[in-house]
Amino acid sequence: MMRHLLLPRCAPRAAFNVQRSSSFGASVLRAARQYSIQPTAASDSKTLDIDPRKLVIERTGKPKALKDSKDLVFGANFTDHMLTIEWDKSTGWHEPRITPYQNLSLDPATCVFHYAFECFEGMKAYKDKAGKIRLFRPDKNMERFNKSAARIALPTFGPTNLIDLIAKFAKLESRFIPEERGYSLYLRPTMIGTQKTLGVGPPGSALLYVIASPVGPYYPTGFKAVSLEATDYAVRAWPGGVGDKKLGANYAPCIVPQREAMSRGFQQNLWLFGEEEYVTEVGTMNFFVVIRNKETGQKELITAPLDGTILEGVTRDSVLSLAKEKLAPEGWKVVERKYTMPELAQAAEEGRLIEAFGSGTAAIVSPVRSISWKGKVVNCGLKDHEESGETTMKMKQWMESRQYGDEEHEWSYVCE
Amino acid sequence: MMRHLLLPRCAPRAAFNVQRSSSFGASVLRAARQYSIQPTAASDSKTLDIDPRKLVIERTGKPKALKDSKDLVFGANFTDHMLTIEWDKSTGWHEPRITPYQNLSLDPATCVFHYAFECFEGMKAYKDKAGKIRLFRPDKNMERFNKSAARIALPTFGPTNLIDLIAKFAKLESRFIPEERGYSLYLRPTMIGTQKTLGVGPPGSALLYVIASPVGPYYPTGFKAVSLEATDYAVRAWPGGVGDKKLGANYAPCIVPQREAMSRGFQQNLWLFGEEEYVTEVGTMNFFVVIRNKETGQKELITAPLDGTILEGVTRDSVLSLAKEKLAPEGWKVVERKYTMPELAQAAEEGRLIEAFGSGTAAIVSPVRSISWKGKVVNCGLKDHEESGETTMKMKQWMESRQYGDEEHEWSYVCE
């Protein structure tokens, strides 16, 4: 289908640094260690890396009409084109192609349909005041994309090569990116296994593709705080599992619990773990709380550590960095540590739970009003008329300032 | 794409009997209870069930040449046709179609590619001495298929309706089913979510399809005992997860550990769980051991219980039934209970571990020679020159006798 590249190139490939442990009981969770298989970069000069110089562009003959910005629905409308790169194990990566947005034609035996050989990324392109297009920390997305792919025996690639191609793709779709604050182009890099046999094993071929959807602000009329249901009957992730990777496998199993929570009037699940009822994530976002320390009176921004059960959120990392930069000098403690639902409930009772929010690419931050837990309501610090806490609001502003390039910062990658 | 059925019919639908528990620590695993969300049948008369009377058949104009039986590779070659049934949430199930085997054409935003909305079944059609085609316990496959689908918010269906259609499909492909003992037609019912938006939620549309691959005996030259690596650094399933369902999500994450085990000379992973090192499954099969009881001297056939972390294998259930029917009268104890790797190692040391085997649709039973665990080798009772224990051999014979209809039995479903 695709012609092969002629120049052999070095590509980072994944080898596995398997961390062995004799057991994973709830008690060992207290220690700060990694409970998942981690890929480490290894070079493989035998097959071809992604090569942006070989990009072939086929422009659409039927450009789509632009939707009114206010009618945009997350991930429901897509741009004119898509970026695709095929891979097979003997050649490596084939030439990248930008083509008109089109259906994929796949044999019904293709392994992505049977064994969930699939991983993805979520990232955004923003248009700045000068009309330039900017990606936000694409290096972090590429790093995670490679980790996810390697964890399910899909191929890895040189991160800067794909960033280069995504930048070209985003520029080509520039007319789809609204200029208003809060709007952006959501980019969805996806990798699927395409081997068309039913034997369970590493796929011998794969397809990497990127599609793009113009999106509006998550909260068009300003923040709206959500109510959560603390969930223990279903468990999102487990030590030794794949909850820290952005795999399709982590999503479908969460839909029924989400529907259950919604049927009881809660917008999202707060995923608990273990006998201790550790707080892990909220819905498909990382979770942060602001607590006043009982002994010292110090404000603490707390989130669960990257122990292998928590998605390594790019927004999570950005929130932590911003907090260290801007809140720590004001006397805050910024801490990644395990914390439990009983601890939150106690802090709330004592008036020390000041704020709670989720973090993710779609919403940036999402304020939380309350958590339903064991028949009681744990109030997360908002007054009845408030839809967001102060820190949540600040975080959104700080983040957007860098995303839209108001503040020149290394996190912002200008598509040249 | 497909016209809708005109007759409203009742269809079993899934409602959720959510079993709540405050925690899932390793200690509570000792109790015999269910650690997963279970669907219960509920009727929904508002949308259409699968209706075999509406079947539309479009025969291929290009029948494939038959492969030589000895060249058959599991799941690599497929028959002339496929069975497809579309679903959408307002209509229900559309008319079933048998069409030439062909690629699926799907939007790149389709939710199966991103969030692993996919589940499947593995079952076989056998040709008996009279040339009749027989399915083996298709009711068990349909029951599990519905449970898997419901767990990830995909639609359910009336089991006998799909069995009827699969029987018609298998009969249509009769020429692909070799008559020799050990050969069969592997059937792969698959269901995927087809909604083409990136929002994370229940799919509003789905596709159920069945493809078929002629297969030869798993051990063409007789049994070959395998060596296992006891795996604790990666965890296949956990309480509150989906390890008891046949979801794509359970497969891709197991490939890297499998590759790791193979790189160290072992054919499969023996999946352990928790601090206690409970023995759960082997590769993609259920696991059985034969142990002589230390106190009573009684032979015991042991397998892990269906606690929500174990796949509800049809072959597993058949092995248990056959053992109760044929071994129990000879004084055996047939037991589903939790057992640990230290327990197996001790039994082996004391000469009481008589036999071990995996069970699954592909191999029926797969004898195990040894388990590598913590740097030592646990021998599973075979002498050096033996490739299978006595019970394993008997199980295969008993099972095949019913699969091929040598023994008339209710497990065998004749495709009329």
Interchain contact, A252 vs B115, CB within 8 Å? yes
Confidence tier at B25 by pLDDT (50, 70, 90):
very low
Confidence tier at B35 by pLDDT (50, 70, 90):
confident
Search chain B and give the residue with CA nearest A77.
Answer: B197
- Looking at beta carbons, which residues of chain A come within 8 Å of B257? 37
pLDDT at A39: 54
Share of chain B above pLDDT 70, in %: 90
| pLDDT, tens digit, 9 for 90 and up, residues B361-376 | 999 999 999 999 999 9
Interchain contact, B75 vs A249, CB within 8 Å? no
Q: Are B141 and B29 in contact (CB under 8 A)?
A: no
| pLDDT, tens digit, 9 for 90 and up, residues B337-362 | 999 999 999 999 999 999 999 999 99
Share of chain B above pLDDT 90, in %: 87
Burial B50-89 (b: 16+ CB within 10 A, else e): bbbebbeeeeeeeeeeeeebeebebbbbbbbbbbbbbbbe
Task: Please choose, from the candidates A210, A209, A205, the residue with its C-alpha nearest in 3D space to the C-alpha of residue A87.
Answer: A205
**What is the spatial distance between Cα B302 and Cα B337, in angstroms, rounded to a whole number?**
7
Interchain contact, A109 vs B211, CB within 8 Å? yes
Confidence tier at A169 by pLDDT (50, 70, 90):
very high
pLDDT at B220: 81
| pLDDT, tens digit, 9 for 90 and up, residues A239-297 | 999 999 999 999 999 999 999 999 999 999 999 999 999 999 999 999 999 999 999 99
Mean pLDDT of B17-31: 39
pLDDT, chain A, mean: 91
User: Which domains are assigned to chain A?
Assistant: 39-215 (3.30.470.10), 226-403 (3.20.10.10)
Share of chain A above pLDDT 70, in %: 90
**A44 pLDDT higher than 90:** no
Burial B148-172 (b: 16+ CB within 10 A, else e): bbbbbbbbbbbbebbbbbbbbbbeb
User: Any idea which residue has 């019919």 for tokens?
Assistant: B9
Interchain contact, B259 vs A27, CB within 8 Å? no
pLDDT at A21: 40
pLDDT at B20: 38
pLDDT at B184: 97
**What is the spatial distance between Cα A371 and Cα A380, in angstroms, rounded to a whole number?**
7
**A42 pLDDT higher than 90:** no
**B12 pLDDT higher than 90:** no
- Looking at beta carbons, which residues of chain B come within 8 Å of A21? 232-233
**What is the spatial distance between Cα B196 and Cα B180, in angstroms, rounded to a whole number?**
44
**A2 pLDDT higher than 50:** no
**A93 pLDDT higher than 70:** yes
Q: How many residues does chain A have?
A: 416
Burial A126-138 (b: 16+ CB within 10 A, else e): bbbeeeebbbbbb
| pLDDT, tens digit, 9 for 90 and up, residues B280-338 | 999 999 999 999 999 999 999 999 999 999 999 999 999 999 999 999 999 999 999 99
Interchain contact, B152 vs A118, CB within 8 Å? no
- How close is the nearest chain B Cα to the Cα of A388, in Å? 24
The two three-digit tokens of residue A252, written as one number: 């479908």
Confidence tier at B22 by pLDDT (50, 70, 90):
very low
pLDDT at A34: 62
- Looking at beta carbons, which residues of chain A come within 8 Å of B205? none
Mean pLDDT of B40-69: 87
pLDDT at B41: 45
- How close is the nearest chain B Cα to the Cα of A227, in Å? 18
DSSP state of B324: I
pLDDT, chain B, mean: 91
| pLDDT, tens digit, 9 for 90 and up, residues A259-275 | 999 999 999 999 999 99
Search chain A and give the residue with CA nearest B276.
Answer: A23
Interchain contact, B233 vs A252, CB within 8 Å? no
Interchain contact, B248 vs A198, CB within 8 Å? no
From the list B103, B200, B251, the residue facing A115 with the nearest CB is B251
From the list B103, B116, B276, the residue facing A252 with the nearest CB is B116
| pLDDT, tens digit, 9 for 90 and up, residues A178-237 | 999 999 999 999 999 999 999 999 999 999 999 999 999 888 888 999 999 999 999 999
For residue A317, the SS3 value is helix
Helix (H) or strand (E) run with residue B328 in it: none
**A344 pLDDT higher than 50:** yes
pLDDT at B16: 40
| pLDDT, tens digit, 9 for 90 and up, residues A368-416 | 999 999 999 999 999 999 999 999 999 999 999 999 999 999 999 999 8
| pLDDT, tens digit, 9 for 90 and up, residues B110-149 | 999 999 999 999 999 999 999 999 999 999 999 999 999 9
Share of chain A above pLDDT 90, in %: 86
Interface test mutation site (partner B, options A218, A255, A281, max chain B beta carbons within 10 A): A255
Interchain contact, B252 vs A152, CB within 8 Å? yes
Interchain contact, B241 vs A253, CB within 8 Å? yes
